[in-house]
């Protein structure tokens, strides 16, 4: 599979979701927004030779005060949470690294202040746009070096990056996604990298790859992805103990 085939698969599944009246209206609306994103953007290929210098996370919802209560985030307020995530980004990522965000940067049009804070973070920044980014692509291009509809990383297994999780994941592939926040992956073919799942900091792509291999080799099911991320995260600083703002 390549990024072109991935985008076609993604659009087909999103189209089916928009027509499925058995799913909630908000999910149909999200799928429609993602189709609009995909009509304006191309898929991209991530460089496997840079995998050990690549990081990934999803759904930071910067500036979204309600996200603290809705998703049970362990912060005093969104300012505190935003600062913690940006601080961890700065501490972990180097300038020559690549950082991939799988969408929903913010709920509204990004402010000039947020764009500036993102631009000042280290690393080449790639956005795989989410449904809440749909109306703000033009502004988000100022914060990211590249904006795409989806992304593909060759390897064993192949990693397919989307905002909304794929309903059907091709054999030999693992879908790395966001969007579902607290809902864990339901089988060995998907990895949820929303910030709630990965300790509110970008996750090394090498960890994601190891998890993908482990899941595909020995299916664990259920909440296995979250359990394994937690195991890897034991040495991380406890979320919420940062300075409350990025340096």
pTM: 0.89
Rg (CA), the chain: 17
Q: CB–CB of 93/121 below 8 Å?
A: yes
CA pseudo-torsion sign 112, 118, 122, 127 = negative
What pLDDT was estimated at residue 230?
53
Tokens 């009246």 sit on residue: 21
What pLDDT was estimated at residue 215?
77
What pLDDT was estimated at residue 246?
35
- With CA atoms as reference, report the closest residue to 88 among 163, 200, 172: 200
Sequence-ordered list of residues with C-beta below 8 angstroms from that of 29, at least 6 positions apart, any chain: 131
* Domains in the chain with CATH codes: 44-235 (3.60.21.10)
**Cβ atoms within 10 Å of 190's Cβ, excluding its own:** 22
What pLDDT was estimated at residue 210?
87
- For the stretch 151-163, what's the b/e string if a residue is b when 16 or more beta carbons lie within 10 angstroms of its beta carbon? bbbeeebbbbbbb
Which residues, in sequence order, are bridge partners of residue 148?
Answer: 128
**Cβ atoms within 10 Å of 232's Cβ, excluding its own:** 15
Terminal Cα distance for the chain, rounded:
41
pLDDT tens string, the chain, 247 residues long: the values are 999 999 999 999 999 999 999 999 999 999 999 999 999 999 999 999 999 999 999 999 999 999 999 999 999 999 999 999 999 999 999 999 999 999 999 999 999 999 999 999 999 999 999 999 999 999 999 999 999 999 999 999 999 999 999 999 999 999 999 999 988 765 678 999 999 988 899 999 998 998 888 877 765 554 455 555 555 544 444 443 333 333 3
What the block records as the tokens of 68 is: 């603290």
160: left (phi over 0), alpha (psi -120 to 50) or beta: beta
User: What count of Cα atoms within 13 Å lies in the side-chain half-sphere of residue 196?
Assistant: 20
CA angle 101, 193, 238 (to 5 degrees): 100
What pLDDT was estimated at residue 78?
94
What pLDDT was estimated at residue 77?
96
What pLDDT was estimated at residue 19?
96
What are φ and ψ of residue 47, in 5° steps? -85, 115
């Amino acid at each position: 599979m390549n990024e072109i085939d991935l985008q076609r698969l993604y659009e087909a599944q999103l189209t089916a979701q928009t027509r499925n009246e058995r799913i909630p209206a908000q999910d149909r609306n999200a799928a429609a927004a993602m189709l609009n994103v995909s009509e304006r953007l191309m898929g991209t290929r991530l460089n496997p030779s840079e995998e050990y210098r690549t990081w990934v996370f999803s759904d930071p919802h910067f500036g979204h005060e309600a996200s603290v209560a809705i998703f049970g985030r362990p912060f005093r307020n969104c300012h505190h949470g935003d600062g913690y995530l940006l601080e961890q980004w700065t501490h972990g990522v180097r300038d020559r690294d690549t950082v991939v965000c799988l969408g929903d940067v913010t709920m509204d049009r990004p402010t000039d202040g947020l764009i500036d804070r993102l631009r000042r973070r280290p690393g080449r920044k790639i956005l795989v746009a989410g449904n809440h980014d749909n109306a703000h692509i033009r502004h988000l291009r100022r914060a990211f070096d590249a904006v795409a509809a989806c992304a593909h990383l060759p390897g064993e297994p192949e990693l397919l990056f989307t905002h909304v999780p794929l309903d059907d994941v091709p054999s030999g592939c693992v879908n790395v996604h966001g969007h579902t926040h607290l809902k864990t992956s339901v089988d060995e073919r998907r990895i949820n990298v929303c910030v709630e799942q990965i300790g509110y900091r970008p996750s090394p792509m090498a960890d994601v790859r190891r998890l993908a291999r482990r899941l595909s080799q020995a299916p664990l099911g259920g909440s296995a992805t979250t359990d394994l991320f937690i195991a890897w995260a034991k040495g991380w600083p406890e979320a919420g103990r940062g300075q409350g703002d990025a340096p």
